[in-house]
Amino acid sequence: MKRNLKLHVILFVITVITTTIAGAVLAGKSRINPDFFLSGLPFSLTLLSILGVHETGHFLASRYHRVEATLPYFIPAPPPPFFLIGTFGALIKIKSPIYNRKALFDIGFAGPATGFLLAIPLLFFGLSISRIEVSGPAIDGVLRLGDSLILTLASRAVFGRIPEGYELMLHPVAFAAWIGLWVTAINLLPVGQLDGGHISYAIFGEKYLYISRIVFIILVLMGLLWLGWILWGFILLFFLKLNHPPPVDPYTPLGIRRKILGIVAVLIFVMTFIPVPFII
């Protein structure tokens, strides 16, 4: 086994452990025993499946266009109480130039598209085993999740209209799908080295930079709704950058099919974006 493959395996195993602990805590378990870890697996396997399929989509698209890329790196995070979900996500690293706009589009689009396609049935399954409970009194410090359009439509399909005085309690599988869909929306922001940045640059070329700057300003202003957007703006500005390097050949036409898929990417973003993801 090559050293770099060992690193992928080690990081994946650690991430399975940290996300399983997170899942057990979310399931209300506190005593560490075999049941503790078994109760955490539904959350862990759901979340890692969505993240893994997302990054595998990037990897396969890279291979198709003969762009050298690593296998997915899963990034563990300290489990609760330090970090709610036990992972900082996953990524692949592009190690050779991207040759044209078609390759850039396909690599950017493949990740969120495949992750979205897996997350939707997992969300419906998670909702089918979730429950409706009487709303309790408002308690300071209790974390509540914001609703995306897709969650609203899916919960209506499964439960109908939830009566006033009741609330939806997500099963860990549904919560993991919620996270996967929210990560999809974040990645589709048309900024920098995010998937949405790849897609936007492939479609608009150098005009992309205007879109990137406008989205950055909107994101910072949305910090008035949720302070986390200001943090994301800081990460984009100083780490992922607002600009985007051009492919080797920036002039090859993209074609109508990929432009239609660009509209699909916008629709996925609209369905998964959450203006206020977390409410305390």
Secondary structure of the chain: what % helix, strand, coil (to 5)?
Answer: 60, 10, 30
CB-based contact 54:181 (threshold 8 Å): no
- List the domain boundaries for the chain: 42-71+100-187+247-279
Q: What is the mean pLDDT of residues 199-207?
A: 94
- Closest to 214 measured CA to CA, from 195, 235, 189: 189
CA distance 256 to 118: 26
Beta bridge partners of 87: 76
Span 90-107, pLDDT tens digits: 999 999 999 999 999 999
pLDDT score of 1? 41
Please provide residue 52's backbone torsions phi and psi, each rounded to the nearest 5 degrees. -65, -45
Please state the separation of Cα 108 from the chain's center in Å.
Answer: 13
Q: How confident is the model at residue 29 (pLDDT cuts 50, 70, 90)?
A: confident
Token pair belonging to 77: 């995070």
CB-based contact 92:61 (threshold 8 Å): no
> CA 69 → CA 33, 127, 245, 259, distances in Å?
39, 35, 17, 25
Residue 2 has pLDDT above 60, yes or no: no
CB-based contact 39:24 (threshold 8 Å): yes
CB-based contact 40:21 (threshold 8 Å): yes
Contacts of 201 (CB under 8 A, 6+ apart): 101, 104, 208, 244, 246
What angle (nearest 5°) sits at the alpha carbon of residue 256, between those of residues 255 and 260?
125
CA distance 187 to 222: 17
Q: Counting Cβ atoms within 10 Å, is residue 222 exposed (0-12), middle (13-18) or buried (19+)? A: middle
Q: What is the mean pLDDT of residues 192-209?
A: 93
Span 5-28, pLDDT tens digits: 999 999 999 999 999 999 999 988
CB-based contact 184:272 (threshold 8 Å): yes
Q: How confident is the model at residue 137 (pLDDT cuts 50, 70, 90)?
A: low
Least confident of 27-31, 64-68, 174-178, 200-204: 27-31
Q: What is the DSSP letter of 132?
A: E
CA distance 109 to 104: 9
Whole-prediction pTM = 0.94
CA distance 198 to 239: 16
Query: Residue 276 in 3-state DSSP?
Result: coil
CB-based contact 62:94 (threshold 8 Å): yes
